[in-house]
A and B are shown apart, each in its own frame.
Chain A
């Protein structure tokens, strides 16, 4: 097996991975950086983020206010020291992107413009029309081309971490084009491989969001944290789950039920605000968890509109007018017209909640370090945790930048700490094991299971039993079923026996990752007997700070369900309180 020697290997080349790579290259041009991704960097799913990135910049705002919104929005499950670090670094990172050429939307005087976003008390979301993630990703990718020390390995799929002498020393990856395994020998590894929304059938996530980075760390012994918290975005197109940004509501779009009633006022987010004059942190600018849960109740009350794609509510943007929609929400208009044949300038758009984001992920501390020395993680795949039980829109794009950079700095500290020599024989043996595992999957004949079959069952299980509202009984069923699917995975045989660009093999490996993640979601949710943020239990309807002001940690086992432990939340200055989104009252 070919061995590639590097100093720091990064798995994933989206927002967090690219930011980390640039930070490394800037810190020390002599560092050898291997940027490994299963897709070309600009295909990474950061490109699909629309609304914007939060960071305090305007004079009417303060770091304390951003802190309060984030911690309350996360239903007090955020680690407050991490949030504080995040809030402090956010404006610098967004400004850095401006200096790298990001085409942020502007005020008439040429300063950066900000827009309102859900759960935020002050306008602080920097945006580039409604293509913010796209522009952030491309700005980072293009900027990364300046640095010759960033060596890219595009279309390489990471299969296993190499952990020896108690520290992470590299990984194995499959070159997709040739089907050959490579061993990356590194002094530190940063995982920045995104979320796992594809566990669910109806999601805004692209095909590549299969939790590979999470599973990579999980299988190497790093716990996954708070995986039960899965965010539903309230406004997805009903036929294919395409995201319509929260910016729609930030700009003044309203949500109505079949009777034209702005039903959010019936769920603690009223009273009604004037149409076209959105009031921050109330009604349509409430947090995503509350809005998605309100939809669930409306559906049960029979207040939804039935469409060929299931029950919907309506997102009405007509009063914004064509000019504003074209200027601020051009992609939204294009997506509605292209994929639904409906024009938001002329008619209300049917929408429904859709799986969007994993609050949980690889357990890291506030320095982006995992419990395994030499292994770091950042972005959606990681759980620092700044998002707690519910992420506020526009915090995640900023998170990529802040913690992508932080992971890079921590990795440098690690390699400067005087590491002992590596045991090359031990690493090579581990790499060989990884290769053998993939080969066994590749060579297996007479299997009874297929990738598509197992995947379909997993998705159905997650949707039926681990959705917006959950019960102990359903979650127990989900645990049992996912565990069964993990067993059945052993009987999987591939149809495609070619080494060149074998997407059958890729999808089998991705399915493996998703099954591992799905089990962590189901087990974490089953054992969290309370309702908090995005995790709502019909059998335990209240938040229980006595027993569950804690992070869930799930530990991998190759055959059994994961072991669960708990870790106290870090509280520094904000004691758990009531989440109040009835701002219009005051």
Chain B
């Protein structure tokens, strides 16, 4: 179970103060087979090279800090198991984001886009706390529960070919979070969110490759959410243009 294996860990290095461009550095790491790639990085940091920079915290796939490209695929470092790889593992920062240093990326673009879709409850009705909870049946909860599971790890942005081509694209996590609130029985804010997500940079940029859902470590299925948003937006369009009397 605790068998050891020597892994060549090839890590992208970039220090903006001294490097003109990124380079790779290879470390030889004695890995226990049950380790994850993050454990190997921590081994390097503690024993071989304290200058290696990367983000991590929970080590249980819930804080969303440790997204890297591992052998070219977006993965959480804490959920990429050594035993699933050969003796050579390459770790790079998440694709489509500027590199801050080593495996650390600049993530402001994601934060800005995520914030722009009004990802919070806009209550359908005002109700004081003293009046108790908004009733919500398990079936109503199920309608959006899946989309609440997003840990903001940004793997879907790294996987999305469209985000790579059109940086203005809102992207999978932001749109599926808007969809999460739109689907919540307590919410009445869809019209406000629609202004952002039905725009040109919104849902219409998605070419439905589905890569986002494939890499999502929490099975949120952003691609499914995007499709649902497209269908709903199309219906909106027809209502507005062909049946103007039906609008609100």
| Interface, chain B (partner A; CB < 8 A) | 1-2, 15-18, 34, 45-47, 49-65, 79, 100-102, 104, 107, 111, 115, 118-121, 123, 127, 129, 132-138, 140-141, 144-145, 148-149, 151-152, 177, 181, 184, 186-187
Q: Which residues from chain A contact B49 at a C-beta distance below 8 Å? A: 495
Pairwise interchain contact A106-B141, C-beta atoms closer than 8 A: yes
Interface centre among B47, B138, B140, B145, by most A CB within 10 Å? B138
Instruction: Write the nearest CB–CB distance from A130 to chain B, whole angstroms.
Output: 11
Instruction: Write the nearest CB–CB distance from B78 to chain A, whole angstroms.
Output: 9
Pairwise interchain contact B145-A43, C-beta atoms closer than 8 A: no
Pairwise interchain contact B132-A95, C-beta atoms closer than 8 A: yes
Chain A interface main SS type: loop
Chain B interface main SS type: loop
A48 to B184, CA, bound (A): 24
Pairwise interchain contact A504-B15, C-beta atoms closer than 8 A: no
Q: Which residues from chain B contact A145 at a C-beta distance below 8 Å? A: 115, 118-120
Given contacts A498-B51, A500-B16, contact A48 B120 (CB under 8 A): no
Complex partner residue of A99 from B16, B45, B79, B129, CB under 8 angstroms? B129
Pairwise interchain contact A496-B79, C-beta atoms closer than 8 A: no
Output the nearest chain A residue to B17 by Cβ-Cβ distance. A498
Asked if A151 CB lies within 8 Å of chain B CBs, one says no
Near B by CB (< 8 A), chain A positions 504-519 give: 504, 507
Pairwise interchain contact B135-A111, C-beta atoms closer than 8 A: yes
Complex partner residue of A496 from B50, B115, B184, CB under 8 angstroms? B50
Near B by CB (< 8 A), chain A positions 488-505 give: 494-496, 498-504
Beyond the given pairs A42-B152, A99-B123, A101-B121, 13 more chain A to chain B contacts, judged by CB atoms under 8 angstroms and listed by A's residue number, are A39-B57, A42-B64, A43-B64, A99-B134, A101-B120, A101-B181, A108-B137, A131-B62, A145-B118, A207-B58, A308-B2, A496-B50, A500-B100
Q: Which residues from chain B contact A23 at a C-beta distance below 8 Å? A: none
A22 to B111, CA, bound (A): 19
Pairwise interchain contact A146-B138, C-beta atoms closer than 8 A: no
Q: Which residues from chain B contact A146 at a C-beta distance below 8 Å? A: 118, 120
Instruction: Write the nearest CB–CB distance from A536 to chain B, whole angstroms.
Output: 28
A545 to B240, CA, bound (A): 74
Q: Which residues from chain A contact B141 at a C-beta distance below 8 Å? A: 103, 105-106
A-B interface, 6 closest residue pairs, ranked by CB to CB distance from nearest: A110-B135, A101-B121, A206-B57, A206-B58, A496-B51, A452-B46
List 26 A-B residue pairs with CB atoms under 8 Å apart, sorted by A's residue number.
A39-B55, A42-B151, A43-B57, A45-B63, A47-B62, A47-B151, A48-B60, A99-B129, A100-B120, A101-B120, A103-B141, A105-B141, A111-B133, A131-B149, A134-B62, A142-B120, A143-B120, A154-B111, A177-B100, A239-B34, A240-B59, A452-B46, A498-B51, A501-B102, A503-B45, A503-B52
Complex partner residue of B138 from A44, A108, A494, A507, CB under 8 angstroms? A108
Q: Which residues from chain A contact B104 at a C-beta distance below 8 Å? A: 501
Asked if A109 CB lies within 8 Å of chain B CBs, one says yes
A335 to B61, CA, bound (A): 9
Pairwise interchain contact A43-B63, C-beta atoms closer than 8 A: yes
Complex partner residue of B133 from A95, A138, A502, CB under 8 angstroms? A95
Interface centre among B47, B51, B120, B137, by most A CB within 10 Å? B120
Q: Which residues from chain A contact B53 at a C-beta distance below 8 Å? A: 496, 501-503
